[in-house]
Structure 1
Amino acid sequence: MTQPEALRSLLESVAAGEVNPVEAFDKLKYLNYEPVGDFARIDHHRRLRTGFPEVIWGPGKTPDQIAQIMIAMRDRGSVVMATRIEPEVYAKLQEKVPDLYYYAMARICAITPPNFPSGGDPGGVGGVISILSAGTADLPVAEEAAVTAELSGFRVHRLWDVGVAGIHRLLNNRHVVESADVLIVVAGMEGALPSVVAGLADCPVIAVPTSIGYGASFGGLAPLLTMLNSCAAGVGVVNIDNGFGAAVLAGQILRAAHKLHLSQSSD
């Protein structure tokens, strides 16, 4: 059964009273995808299921493939976003998608709806995601997290270059840690910063190891292991250089807290 046939059958079942609207809505969450050429199937209903729309992973795709996917996604009313886009790829994409915006440090391309409130409040969720970087060299990963969170509608507070080699820089900005609802801490080298931050924070800490460091850091493996072995409680760890994944996890934590609050308020 094709998608149009499946949708028609579902609507007919609702009209006949065989399926109630709540059940129909649940089925629709898993129904809709759109083929693009012979190389992609866009999951338009991912936002319904998870709260976040599908995001395009740039590496491994040609500029033409990325552009076709973006054009197919742009009319759905949500942000269209592609990660790990290098400047030369962006230049080619801009020829096909003129209203594309490029966040150079984060290596993210995005199309936002006209009324999109960047850094706003998605559905009244509330909360602040504070993002800390150990060093300036960690900024591409930290900015990937920050821009992803902002494009998802969350409020973000940035604090860069506060690594443990000069711990006073962090301690002089403890208010950032104390005011956060979720913390994302990005660090390379030995990756000690998340453990230090978690010892000061009363909220979840998401640690992001980066591939920054000398040879014995093994491309981020050393900070990854440090973060996994953190002596501070409340630290979760994502994969090496995965700023995007950290931002999505932070957003889900805030959404879950919001849902719990609504549930308690209605009791």
Structure 2
Amino acid sequence: MEIREILESLEKGKISINNAKKMLSLYSIEEIEGIAKIDINRRKRKGIPEVIFAESKKLDEIKKIIQKTLEKTNSVVVSRINKGDYAKILAFAKKSKFKVKTGKNSSTLVLYKKPIIFKGGKVGILAAGTSDIGVAEEARLMSEAMNCKCISSYDVGVAGIQRIFPILKEMISEDVDCIIVVAGMEGALATLVSSMVDIPVIGIPTSIGYGYGGKGIAALASMLQSCSLGLSVVNIDNGIAAGAISANIANRAIRKNRTK
């Protein structure tokens, strides 16, 4: 059925709203020259913007996907950009008059047309060490692309445990809806934070570490084995997933509060 037929059938009561929604979702895929199929309506359906995984793509392919996506939506996240392509994508964005959000030590960018307004929930982001900042910033960019306000603090790991308390107090005072904890080595910070708050905690193990259990394996195992309830864990270095989950939690919480 064409879109008009779907809408006419809905108006006449021949199909349900749920069936119409399902049928319309079939029209939300945009194909680009045999390179990629973009989920244009993902933002409307899930609240999550389109994300381009740039690491395995050629520069020209990335540019085409960015261009096509921003013809249809306001923003796109480009993650894991190869070092040689990063400056070229920034130059392309400037030439195309797209606005850009960057992150410290991060290979991820958010490109957008109209300003992103922080009208959603609040997300707290903690990084155990300075080596974890790039992944934390990736999570921040994803959360902000989903309209969340982020409160961040880095280098607050368990090696100097006293550093965590002031920022946790601030996050509780600010009534954050979710906390992302980024940690490598043994990944202990996520368990510590989860044990002290009644807020959902998303742990990101990072590939910072060496020797036995190196490359994030020990941090991942530690977080998965955590005895502190209220902690969920994403894959190693997966700031995009943690940002999306946390923002969805925060945005749902703010919607519920607004309807009370």
Given the two structures, how large is their TM-score scaled by the length of structure 2? 0.88
Residue 116 of structure 2 aligns to a residue whose secondary structure is: coil
Q: Which residue of 2 aligns with 1:132?
A: 126
Q: Which residue of 1 aligns with 2:41?
A: 45
Of the structure 1 ranges 198-207 and 167-176, higher mean CA displacement relative to structure 2 is found in 167-176
Please, which runs of 5 or more residues in structure 2 have no aligned partner? none
Q: Which residue of 2 aligns with 1:242?
A: 238
1:15/1:61 CA distance change after superposition, 3 Å: same
The correspondence for 2:119, drawn from 109, 121, 141, is 121
Ranked by relative contact order (alpha carbons within 8 Å, sequence separation 6 or more), the top structure is: 2
1:94/1:218 CA distance change after superposition, 3 Å: same
Answering whether residue 3 of structure 2 is matched by residue 7 of structure 1, we say yes
Shift of 1:107: 1.4
Counterpart of 1:121, as a letter, is K
Shift of 1:138: 0.4
The correspondence for 1:144, drawn from 131, 138, 148, is 138
1:221/1:22 CA distance change after superposition, 3 Å: closer
Alignment of 1:15-30 (within 5 A): 18-19=14-15, 23-30=19-26
Of the structure 1 ranges 22-31 and 131-140, higher mean CA displacement relative to structure 2 is found in 22-31
1:233/1:36 CA distance change after superposition, 3 Å: same
CA contact (8 A) 1:90 1:102 kept: no
Shift of 1:248: 0.6
Q: Which residue of 1 aligns with 2:188?
A: 192
Q: Which residue of 2 aligns with 1:157?
A: 151
CA contact (8 A) 1:130 1:176 kept: no
1:160/1:11 CA distance change after superposition, 3 Å: same
Residue 173 of structure 1 aligns to a residue whose secondary structure is: helix
Q: Distance in 2 between matches of 1:75 and 1:61?
A: 20
Residue 89 of structure 2 aligns to a residue whose secondary structure is: helix
Alignment of 1:162-173 (within 5 A): 162-173=156-167
Please, which runs of 5 or more residues in structure 1 have no aligned partner? none
CA contact (8 A) 1:177 1:201 kept: no
1:6/1:215 CA distance change after superposition, 3 Å: farther
Identical aligned pairs, as a percentage? 36
Counterpart of 2:119, as a letter, is D
Q: Distance in 1 between matches of 2:178 and 2:119?
A: 15
Q: Distance in 2 between matches of 1:195 and 1:16?
A: 55
1:192/1:22 CA distance change after superposition, 3 Å: closer
Report the count of equivalent residues: 254
Residue 218 of structure 1 aligns to a residue whose secondary structure is: coil
Shift of 1:103: 1.6
1:177/1:227 CA distance change after superposition, 3 Å: farther
Counterpart of 1:107, as a letter, is S
Q: Distance in 2 between matches of 1:112 and 1:60?
A: 22
Q: Which runs of 4+ in 1 moved over 6 A?
A: none
Q: Distance in 1 between matches of 2:78 and 2:179?
A: 24
